Structure 1
Amino acid sequence: MTRPYAVFVGLPGSGKSTMAHQVAELLGLRAADSDDLIVDAAGRSIPEIFEERGEAGFRALEERTIVDALGSFSGVLALGGGAVTTPGVRKALRGHRVVLITGDQQVLLERVTRHPSRRPLLSDDPERTLSLLRAEREPLYEQVAAMTVKTDNRPPSRLARELSERLQADCASIDVGEYAVHVGHNLMGRVAQAAATASSALIVHPPALTGRAEEIQADMISRGIPTKRHEVPAGEQQKHSSELVRAWDRLGAMQMGRDGVIVGLGGGATTDLAGFIAATWLRGVDLIQVPTSLLGMVDAAVGGKTGIDTPAGKNLVGAFHKPVAVIADLDSLRSLPAEELTAGLGEVIKCGWIADRTILDLDPAALRHPGSSQLSDAIVRSISVKARIVTEDFREAGSREFLNYGHTLAHAIEKVENFGIRHGEAVAIGSVFAAALAREAGYPDLVEEHRESFRRVGLPVTYRAGMRDELRRAMLSDKKVRSGRLRFVLLDGQGNPLIVEPTDEQIDRSWEEIGA
């Protein structure tokens, strides 16, 4: 699935089409106008379609055309002024980078009266009609917009340059099939935009994020979305079946329907829980993930896997459920404890080993600094690795298992330690163990390189001795086990993962490399 780089909306005369074409040219992209796409599809001009089908018929055709373009066009798309009056269009715009182009009444009026034949709704009394359209449509534009730009009498080329610079600095948007992950700064305002058209919302969050949850709640309420907050315990404790039931009870009290939305605001545990709540309530309602930890941004919130823990192991009960959007605001990392940021690097380095070599070459000191450009680059690269894999294999029938590199032992360590060790730390140890196991199985020896890659960003590479039997029993709960046999993701060189069923002897010889 392909998504537009940006979508422009606004009143007639705002210059959406002109701006779309000029911005697209500056960025080296294609541009399209939904009205032109409609004309091509119908073989009729816009006035002819209005005359033959009426406004209702035109809006139905417009909705079909726009929904199709939102899933197939990769450039800058300008929508007709009235497109947002259709609920289906507003719903389809959720999670897209929608730019509202607005302007003063006189500026717009002067423009729309230049070619009255092109605008059938403005042919009679354009000033009064434009005022009525503004009153009707501006609240809808604001509901779907992620960014607002005011047009004026300056040359369009100058406005286009300013807008293209804002778009480039705004955020990175990474396609993951039917939705996108938005990565950048000052993005919390995007949550309400992604929830546009929802009949109600529940924000799931831990105690430490109450203030941020309240801000999002206020923003959503101001956009007309009735919103409640649902506080859950911190950390892995929230991924218990009792918390799931408590959330269901809250949703029942709210009478949330299938047009509601769940917002997961927090680290990986919160997004796992929120995702499973959304997947199970009424057999599936919309989900917006707002990861606030490094681990959540690069792993837990991306890919549509949700779950809770059981005494038998981590994430053994869950569901596949795609979010509407993932909004990763990098400003959240500035308040993250240093040890949590470091732990999240376990998943980042893992992505370097299974796919993107550039990650392994980034400055380790910069990676541990929440405001560094290298960390931002590593986050985007890690998400891109996961996005590419899960788009190809959403339900983990093949290559998606590669994302579990280091996880077979990591999950076992977490279980044995009763989640007293952070996930990324366990992944680092598990990845070194996987490297040792690959060497024993006859693949390239990357053990020391693994140790160095994790150690230099402050992650552990050894585990306490005397736990082999307990860890082995815990590994047998891993999802990759078949017929009681352990299967591991190993590497036949960097960037070349594969699934291997090692012998007991190969496993036994690998323990020494992590000190276990």
Structure 2
Amino acid sequence: MTRPYAVFVGLPGSGKSTMARHVAELLGLESADSDDLITQRGMSIPDIFATAGEAGFRKVEERVIIEALSSFSGVLALGGGAITSPGVRRALRGHRVVLINGDHDVLLDRVSRHPDRRPLLAEDPEANLAALRAQREPLYQQVASLTVTTDSRPPNRLARELRDRLEKDSRTIDVVDYAVHVGRHMLPRVAQAAAGASSALIVHPAVLTDAAESVQAEMIRRGIPTRRHIVPDGEAQKHSSELVRAWDRLGEMTMGRDGVIVGLGGGATTDLAGFIAATWLRGVDLIQVPTSLLGMVDAAVGGKTGIDIPAGKNLVGAFHKPVTVIADLDFLATLPAEELTAGLGEVIKCGWIADEAILGLDAVALKNPGSDALLEAIVRSISVKAAVVTEDFLEAGTREFLNYGHTLAHAIEKVENFTVRHGEAVAIGSVFAAALAREAGFRDLVAEHIESFTKVGLPVTYRGGMREELTAAMYSDKKVRAGRLRFVLLEEQGRPVIYEPTPDQIERSWEAIGA
């Protein structure tokens, strides 16, 4: 999917089109104005107003903007009244929207120069501009993720400052037809992504109550009735009873299909919140806000949702795309060190199946939540998953490669009743997969696997005497076909394949992890 780098909104005369052009030039991108895109279709805006009225114009405008939001990769400026259309506000969810604001007198001076271009301001510019501000400003606030005030500074200087703010704001990775935003100080973006929702439910564990209350307050300020729903910590929340409890809460709220679920928490929370959204009224909008490293690089990205049952992990679930994913790295500073380390299991996995540069990042820096190395690792890991998921959303082919190390990892989690962290289990499972690959005649990467995981502090061995229990647990894995175990193995780094090992190959591979 193609999406604009940024979308500029604001009142007539705010200079959003000029600013979009300047910022685009600084970034080496194209710029476009929705009014120009409309006139390119053969009819001027005053003519459309004259023949179809404002309501007819808004329908044309909405179609043009929605098309541009999925096909234009530069900086897009919208007409001043575009956000009055509910369809436009919904379409802007998950996009980086910049509100260009300005003093009334400055805007009035600008719009008075060309009254023929602005049908809604022609008769009495001052009174009409004031009326438009009163009507539209709350709607701008709904959709904006960043606000800039235009003033007497030269446009190119203001554009440079805005360019710098946008570049620091976040990194964006496209997944299927939604975006993952990675950056710092991102929590206000959640309410912006929910713009236009009739109601919202924030699903979160108790430890994140302060953050959830902050999001709730911002949503209510933007006119979205919002409630919070507290769930247990960790894997305990992924139980069918928690799903029913959430459904009951939504029933009490009478949430309609234009509502939104927000998953605020680690991977277990985003899994549960996603399944709630997928099943309520057969599917409502979902915003994922992962707060753990594991959630950011794995659970919240890709549209997989699910809960656990006694037979195994994630055996009940659905594919349900979020509107957007907002990964605020500020949360990582609050994670216990062992949780941050565990999340690196999925990061290193991405290095083995696709992006070798991840394996070369400084191990010490990766354990520092404020480091550039960790930011790069997160962006690279999400990009690996995004590329695979975009190609194979429903796991009909290559998406299975993302399960490298997971066949044994899920078995360990089940046998240990989820007292072993997922990333730790993935590290052990990946070493086991490397040993299986060696047995299958592929390149021997066992020593390199052990080094890559141990240098960040992850385990690579498992207690002995558990082969029978682990084997039984692996046979309940989703990847079993016709009673045969299937593993993702590596022919070499970056070349994953699906392989069905023989019982003898499995037996000889246990030694690599000390089991």
Question: Do these two structures clear the TM 0.5 threshold for a shared fold by scoring above it?
Answer: yes
- Whether 2:157 is the aligned partner of 1:158: answer yes
Alignment check: 8 A CA contact 2:348 2:452 kept? yes
Aligned-partner SS, 1:121: coil
Give the drift of 1:84: 0.3
Distance (Å, rounded) in 2 between the aligned partners of 1:221 and 1:178:
27
Amino acid at match of 2:207: A
The equivalent of 1:374 in structure 2 is 373
Give the drift of 1:119: 1.1
Aligned-partner SS, 1:499: strand
Structure 1 unaligned spans of 5+ = none
Give the drift of 1:178: 1.4
The equivalent of 1:10 in structure 2 is 10
State how 1:454-493 maps to structure 2 within 5 Å: 454-493=453-492
Instruction: List per-residue Cα deviations over 1:127-147 (Å, max 9, x = no partner).
Output: 111000000001100010000
Give the drift of 1:40: 1.4
The equivalent of 2:417 in structure 1 is 418
State how 1:213-292 maps to structure 2 within 5 Å: 213-292=212-291
The equivalent of 1:101 in structure 2 is 100
Give the drift of 1:490: 0.4
Give the drift of 1:211: 1.0
Instruction: List per-residue Cα deviations over 1:355-402 (Å, max 9, x = no partner).
Output: 101000000000001000000000000001101110110000000000
Amino acid at match of 1:168: E
Amino acid at match of 2:199: S
Instruction: List per-residue Cα deviations over 1:421-445 (Å, max 9, x = no partner).
Output: 0000000000000000001001000
Distance (Å, rounded) in 1 between the aligned partners of 2:384 and 2:437:
22
> Identity, % of aligned pairs?
78
The equivalent of 1:387 in structure 2 is 386
Distance (Å, rounded) in 2 between the aligned partners of 1:130 and 1:413:
64
The equivalent of 2:51 in structure 1 is 52
The equivalent of 1:148 in structure 2 is 147
The equivalent of 1:22 in structure 2 is 22
The equivalent of 1:37 in structure 2 is 37
Amino acid at match of 2:397: G
Instruction: List per-residue Cα deviations over 1:435-470 (Å, max 9, x = no partner).
Output: 000010010000000000000000000000011111
Distance (Å, rounded) in 2 between the aligned partners of 1:478 and 1:37:
51
Amino acid at match of 1:382: S
Give the drift of 1:266: 0.3
Aligned-partner SS, 2:202: strand
Instruction: List per-residue Cα deviations over 1:322-346 (Å, max 9, x = no partner).
Output: 0011000000000000000000000
Distance (Å, rounded) in 2 between the aligned partners of 1:226 and 1:138:
19
Instruction: List per-residue Cα deviations over 1:93-125 (Å, max 9, x = no partner).
Output: 011000000000011111111111111111111
Structure 2 unaligned spans of 5+ = none
The equivalent of 1:352 in structure 2 is 351
The equivalent of 1:124 in structure 2 is 123
Amino acid at match of 2:178: Y
Distance (Å, rounded) in 1 between the aligned partners of 2:111 and 2:216:
38
Aligned-partner SS, 1:204: strand
* Deviation beyond 6 Å, 4+ runs, structure 1: none
Amino acid at match of 2:276: I
Distance (Å, rounded) in 1 between the aligned partners of 2:499 and 2:385:
21
Instruction: List per-residue Cα deviations over 1:131-186 (Å, max 9, x = no partner).
Output: 00000001100010000000011110001100001000100011112110010000
User: What is the number of equivalent residue pairs in this alignment?
Assistant: 515
- Whether 2:328 is the aligned partner of 1:332: answer no
Distance (Å, rounded) in 1 between the aligned partners of 2:100 and 2:426:
46
Alignment check: 8 A CA contact 2:365 2:374 kept? yes
